[in-house]
Amino acid sequence: GPRRRRQREAIEHAIAPIWEANHVWLILVVVVMFTAFPRAFGPLMTALHVPLTAVLLGIVLRGAAFAFRKYDVPADRVHRRWSTVFGVASLVTPFLLGLSLGALASGEIRVTGGTVTTGFLAGWTGAFAVGCGLFAQALFAFLAATYLCVDVQDDDALREDFRRRALAAGLVLVPVAAVVLALARTGAPQLFAGLTGWWASPLLGATGLAAAGALVGLGRRRFRFARAAAIAQVTLVLLGWGLAQYPYVIVPDVTFAATRAADSTLRMLTAALAAGALLLFPSFVYLYRVFKGARTARPGAR
């Protein structure tokens, strides 16, 4: 559209202070996984090394393209080239993350004696995993566009652009979620049983209310309310998935209980995480306040 350059600049301003800091969470998840559940980490990374390697490549390309777009020659042709790399990497990475998560719940990855026996294509090439990838992709797009509606509060035209994208992604989520649930019946029966259990109905109802609240907030241009509802929606989706898949890391052969580290290791890890949180969370709050405050107060807003 006619505001594509401004849209890209808005995305750049939104994530510039925190895009590299966000990799802390990826590192944290990996470290916790191989420290707390070492006997699950090996089979998981072996079975899914193809999509997870692609995820890492996507993250690297995304970060590199973001940096080069900022500091390379400021010509439109060069800017578009790096923007294309950034956009493709940002589109593919969440799809592959969802694909990997679906593979863990599919029951197609089999592990015997700590060794993956089903090869390197099991799980993540099935229809259910692909559906999970599409769902994650739409969910990421919805959340990002909703956040941007709040971030570009000084530009009504851009806010409307991102509002339309958020509404489109939010509406797409409904049929995609229905398809994923239908595919789970045969593609991930353990997960399907969990998502249709007695406890799941209230959770799914709360998730639906949060999704409806986000869409209503976007429709009425109550963007901060929409953002809060979108956060609740994504949180409930992750919570429901985790509860439905528990106690398995990899369905049906690898459980959390069977692969946990020694109690002494878990106690030390918990203490380290608690101590790290005392430094990490205030640092992130300070980072946001400094850079987001500067962004909001910047003179010359369009």
Confidence of residue 297 (pLDDT cuts 50, 70, 90): very low
Residue 73: Cβ-neighbour burial (10 angstroms; 0-12, 13-18, 19+): exposed
The fraction of the chain above a pLDDT of 90, given in percent, is 67
Mean pLDDT of the chain: 89
Confidence of residue 299 (pLDDT cuts 50, 70, 90): very low
Whether the per-residue pLDDT at 291 is higher than 80: the answer is no
pLDDT of residue 74: 73
pLDDT per position as a tens digit, 195-235 = 888 888 899 999 999 999 999 999 999 999 999 999 999 99
Helix axis angle for 76-106 and 223-245, nearest 10°, is 40
pLDDT of residue 293: 65
pLDDT per position as a tens digit, 164-179 = 999 999 999 999 999 9
Q: Rounded CA gap, 193 and 164, in Å?
A: 35
The fraction of the chain above a pLDDT of 70, given in percent, is 96
